[in-house]
Structure 1
Amino acid sequence: MTRRRWMMLALGSLLLLLVTTIAAIPWALGTRPVRRWMLARANQTLAPAGIEFTAIRLSWFRPTRLTNFVLRDAQQDQVVASPDAVWDRNLRQILFERPRLGTFNLKRAVLDVERRADGSIDLYEAIKPVLGKNPRTDLHIRIHQARLRFRNAGQPVPVTAERANLTLDIPAAPQPIAWNLELENPAIRNSATLQIGGRFERWKAANTLAVEVRRNTGPGP
């Protein structure tokens, strides 16, 4: 074998090894030891709140999928649980496009949200550390056909909905945080649909908060 041919073979083998290693990174990140490390880092950021998931599937080209995703508040109460959560970021975007965090789509989720006596809402407080003060942070959450229980301090009976749709947009500055929540109990005849929308101007000195509530009554008999 000539020296030139040997060098070409060695270079080809090195490139093949490099490509194989890069391709295997998403698989390695999904293994149990790395998953535990990722959860530890995420929970350091969210503390005293935290997240859990039993499996993560990463790809260089496809969205990230989380199995049995759970978000817990500062008291470690379960706030959001979804058996199948899809994050529209691939591994390259996660590594190199932060703080553009993309969209989380939580499927078949269960929401257990509490408004405390001081007016704070545990769902917002749980994700608040992710927002930070970076004006370039961009995050969107979509929850479709979830089940909701909303507890309010001082009210013994919670608000429940068998079907809840939530859109939460936290765009980069100077755009405001915006949300829309639709609540419905389709099993109850002629039940109304409750829509709660709002926006929060967090980048303005006045921190303006606007909330709109609409009730759409179902058709009569």
Structure 2
Amino acid sequence: MRKIIIIAIISMLAALSAACGKTEETGSNATTGKATTNVAPPTTSGNTSAPEPSKPGHAADENIPAAVKAVFADAQSFTKQHKDISTSQSAMIERESGSKVPDTDHHSYLAFSSSGGARKQIGAATLVKAGGKEITIVYESREGKPYIKEVRAEGVAQGFLEQFKGKGHDDKFQPGGDLKAQGVDEAMAKAIAAAVHVDILTMQALYGGPDVH
């Protein structure tokens, strides 16, 4: 009887030991599986949020002449453009104006407004020198062609400058004819008229749409 009890106890212990071993192995596999399939992403030290976009500076605007900024007081930004006048364009401009092209590297200044959240061009201007004066010519576009919106020059009678308003590249720029001196010295009037005429012909050649007559 004692022998039977001992054998029974040994059998129970063996079964219990086998059950414990199986449970531990299952637990080990589950842990390994969890570690394999649920690997946490590596952390990055420091701030991981995306950096804010850098705000545009106004360094470029420092190269814009004060005379141009004065014309476009509401502009938030400007762009300076350079365009080369070709030999054929230069010949055409000189033929139609009767004056020399002063420089084949033409500069113009575009003004932009950001009102309403959209960047929009509000005008263009150029600077020319004539008769010892710096002339600011403001342009607007009509059907893709440049027209003079305003001409400014310090120390020049406003009545004379007003006559350039609305002129296009096909118009006459003849002092004593369609342009009255309005108290401006004749030599200066001719110099300013010639410079403005050359410039609008240049703007048409470089930026204007097809000239259909």
Per the normalisation by structure 1, the TM-score is: 0.27
* Greater C-alpha radius of gyration: 2
Q: Give the helix-richer structure, 1 or 2.
A: 2
